[in-house]
Amino acid sequence: MLTAILVMVAIAVVIGLVLGWSAIRFKVEGNPLAEKIDAILPQTQCGQCGFPGCRPYAEAIAKGEADINQCPPGGEEGVKKLADLLGIEPKSLDEAHGTPKPKSVAFIDEQTCIGCTLCIQACPVDAISGAAKQMHTIIASECTGCELCLPPCPVDCISMVPIAEDLPHWKWKHPVVMLKRVA
Amino acid sequence: MSRELFKFKGGVHPPGHKSESNTRPIHAAPLPKKLVIPLRQHIGNPAKPVVDVGDRVLKGQMIAAADGTISTAVHASSSGTVTAIDLQPVPHTSGLPDLCITIETDGRDEWIAHTPLDYRAMAPTALRMQLRDMGLAGLGGAAFPSAVKLDPGATRPCPTLIINGGECEPWITCDDLLMRTHADEILQGVAIMRHLLGSTEILIGIEDNKPEALAAMQAAATKMDFAVEVVAVPAHYPGGGAKQLIETLTGKQVPSGKLSTDIGIQVFNVGTAHALARAVHHGEPLISRLVTVTGHVLRPQNFEVLIGTPMHTLITLAGDRDGTTGVLMGGPMMGVPMPNLDVPVVKATNCILVKSNELFPPLPKALPCIRCTRCADACPAVLQPQELFRFAKAGDFGRAQEYKLFDCIECGCCSYVCPSHIPLVDYYRYAKSEIWAHEKGKRASDLARERHEFRLFRLEREKKEKAEKLAAKAQATRAQAAQDQTRRAELAAEPAAEGTAPSDADAKKALIAAALARAQAKKAEIAPKNTDNLSPGTQHEIEEIEARRAKIRALARQPLETEEKP
């Protein structure tokens, strides 16, 4: 009887030690779920979701503090992917956070720009080059189209230009299957 | 032939339709009034223009230079004046325009000075750079920059060189005619390739439906000072595909996701070998090529065409007919439809196939897939086309990739045998471009994330640096004040215990006094710069003005003094 209890206690202690050690040794840094959500988000860093960037939004979703339908640049497709990842029902985009727009890049009218650097400070991905009293310009390949540079501009010289389809960006379309008309 | 041949899996036997166009000799297409030369004719980066609008260019002059390693130059096909560098329609199924250089020809067809290269004396790297600057690209249809393929690499020897004269696609005969008429030059090109790649075994594969070409090539091969084996391979579509030809000739399969060079084999088209010989032995860049114009035309034949010639002029030359339903660039199996005929001939244009309802009856409407797996039997890439179709249609691109979508060579065998007439290849092209677009988007968002994170880090760092700087400055000021205080205390202590202990206000006053003294010293340092080497007259004038200024200053001070007095 006593032997049995001692054996059980010994096993419990050993297992407890192993578990305790592994909890320290194999501790996962950061929130892996937030990482996965962040990988799905489009990284425009536009803040339309109500959070200052994609990463904070991903963390809020992971904690259950934000809904999955607050990201207009991700579109319905993004919502569907998030729903798949989290195992919940997809829902339609929340209009309160904006509607999806065609992918665009910002464009600075260099005739009007006064070189105030306000847009440079607003750009979340440092995609505007320029200095005080020098003309600014957008580095188009780095621009995410977040529109955060539009409100601070005192002379309204920034506009959004939709990305036109050109040869390097052209895609084969889904083949159209002709349906047979029935009666 | 003593060589043992192997059989690749799958393939089809479509009617050849070669005799329509290979019975007429090659004609040189006349010089057009206007040449439109696209800058993106090859795989890789488009060439960068090196001429300006209004420049006069000579035939063979480089008008756009290679940009990066995987790129090649573009040349003027004839002499004339550059009239535009802008977006023009190009031979692409989308109908989208691309950057082109337009040359108004002057009819003189005047060559730029060009000299042959002594390739044996040149360093291989220098020779490859020269070939890149001569615009060489694969003429079999993919237009991959040849200079890149001619680099065996330091670690990858290329013992086997295969020259592809298969031309398995129906209707096309440009390689056939080229081999019949220019066999010697093709073999001269092969000699240069052998020199660059260090190959020991050279095989030329030609389908057995081209007996004249086989005979001509065999005759030319005997004249060479190295062993060349000209092999007749059975006519079996797509036997002229690089991977299929490798398997037929050597029995080796190129592993999935690998290149033929990984198993020590390099493959070039006969047209590329010919262009290489022209470039090295005559110094002529790639400015023309053979193009088969066939199908629904009066006189199907091959033309020697300058790059940039509009396609419709070739169809007119071959005799256009009523009832044309469309034009393909390439053959009926892999060709792509041309949205309009003003587009120019490019380096990749091997054939212009005019369609009519009699020759190419429109496909019946696609029916559902019945999973008969005839496509799988026909697939030369050993894929499961019916599964790929299912995944592509459903948008399940991940699964499509697992089923080796990217091993598909788009040969069209599956669509050819499909009893439901499903345009299978269109689905694979759609799935491939969706996957590429998705990967591009992923790269862009990864870059955006990285930049955003760096920005956050930078803002944090700047904040910290600013705080540190401010703290250091405050520290320095305090230290200075303390020093001044002690000095003043010492000064005060010297003339007996007259003064009180120095206060903070005193320290501040001392600081202000010091700053004032500094400012005055600085002001005094600034001397007028134009007072050297003055003539006595000017010096006198200055003295007068100074005297007047002193007087005015004295006058300005007087009322103050009078006010203070009462």
**What architecture is domain A32-97?**
Orthogonal Bundle (1.10)
Domains of chain A, residue spans:
32-97, 101-163
Rounded CA separation B321/B316 (Å): 9
- List, as one string, the DSSP characters of B202-271: EEEEEETT-HHHHHHHHHHHHTSSS--EEEEE---BTTTSHHHHHHHHH---PPTT--GGGGTEEEEEHH
Quote the tokens at residue B228: 């060349």
Top-tier CATH class for B19-29+134-356: alpha beta
- Bigger pLDDT: B141 or B452? B452
> What CATH number is given for B363-492 in this structure?
1.10.1060
SS3 B291: strand
pLDDT over 90 at B217, yes or no: yes
pLDDT over 80 at A120, yes or no: yes
Which among A125, B263, B330 is positioned nearest to B338, based on CA atoms? Answer: B330
Which among B265, B330, B341 is positioned nearest to B295, based on CA atoms? Answer: B330
Using pLDDT thresholds of 50, 70 and 90, give the confidence band for residue B490.
confident
Given an 8 Å threshold on Cβ–Cβ distance, is B451 in contact with A173?
Answer: no
Reported as a single tens digit per residue, the pLDDT across B9-36 is: 999 999 999 998 989 999 999 999 999 9
- Bigger pLDDT: A149 or A168? A149
Most confident of A25-34, A67-76, B213-222: B213-222
Domains of chain B, residue spans:
19-29+134-356, 363-492
What pLDDT, on a 0 to 100 scale, did the predictor assign at position B351? 94
Reported as a single tens digit per residue, the pLDDT across B128-137 is: 999 999 999 9
pLDDT over 60 at B212, yes or no: yes
What pLDDT, on a 0 to 100 scale, did the predictor assign at position A180? 54
Q: How far is CA B67 from CA B60, B97, B132, B286, B411, in A?
A: 19, 20, 10, 17, 30
Which among A108, A106, A120, A104 is positioned nearest to A155, based on CA atoms? Answer: A108
What pLDDT, on a 0 to 100 scale, did the predictor assign at position B74? 95
Chain A contact residues (CB < 8 Å to B):
38, 41-45, 53-55, 124-127, 142, 144, 165-167, 169-175, 177-178, 180
Using pLDDT thresholds of 50, 70 and 90, give the confidence band for residue B559.
low
pLDDT over 50 at B510, yes or no: yes
Using pLDDT thresholds of 50, 70 and 90, give the confidence band for residue B564.
very low
Reported as a single tens digit per residue, the pLDDT across B281-290 is: 999 999 999 9
Search chain A and give the residue with CA nearest B434.
A171
Q: Which fold has domain A101-163?
A: Alpha-Beta Plaits (3.30.70)
- Chain B residues whose CB is inside 8 A of the A180 CB are 365
The average confidence (pLDDT) of chain B is 90
* Interchain contact B94–A (C-beta under 8 A): yes
pLDDT over 70 at B566, yes or no: no
pLDDT over 60 at B209, yes or no: yes
- The residue to which tokens 């050690």 are assigned: A21
0.90 surpassed by pTM: no
Using pLDDT thresholds of 50, 70 and 90, give the confidence band for residue B499.
very low
- Chain B residues whose CB is inside 8 A of the A54 CB are 449, 452
Tell me how crowded residue B304 is: count the other CB atoms within 10 A of its CB.
Answer: 15
Distance from CA of A141 to the nearest CA of B (A): 9
Q: How far is CA B42 from CA B70, B135, B346, B357, in A?
A: 9, 9, 9, 32
Report how many Cβ contacts below 8 Å link chain A to chain B. Answer: 69
Is the torsion defined by CA of B12, B139, B158, B45 positive or negative?
Answer: negative
Residues making up chain A, counted from first to last: 183
Mean pLDDT value across residues B462-470: 95
Using pLDDT thresholds of 50, 70 and 90, give the confidence band for residue B487.
confident
Residues making up chain B, counted from first to last: 566
pLDDT over 60 at B563, yes or no: no
- Bigger pLDDT: B142 or A29? B142
Quote the tokens at residue A108: 């600075």
What pLDDT, on a 0 to 100 scale, did the predictor assign at position B35? 94
**Lowest model confidence (mean pLDDT) among B7-11, B203-207, B402-406, B510-514:** B510-514
Q: Which of A42, A170, A172 sits opposite B96 (nearest CB)?
A: A170
What pLDDT, on a 0 to 100 scale, did the predictor assign at position B388? 95
SS3 B61: coil
pLDDT over 70 at B280, yes or no: yes
Residue B399 per-residue DSSP state: H
What pLDDT, on a 0 to 100 scale, did the predictor assign at position B547? 92
SS3 B373: coil
Reported as a single tens digit per residue, the pLDDT across B43-94 is: 999 999 999 999 999 999 999 999 988 999 999 999 999 999 999 999 998 8
User: Percent of chain B having pLDDT more than 70?
Assistant: 95
- Chain A residues whose CB is inside 8 A of the B446 CB are 43
Mean pLDDT value across residues B442-469: 93
Rounded CA separation B96/B106 (Å): 29
Search chain A and give the residue with CA nearest B363.
A178
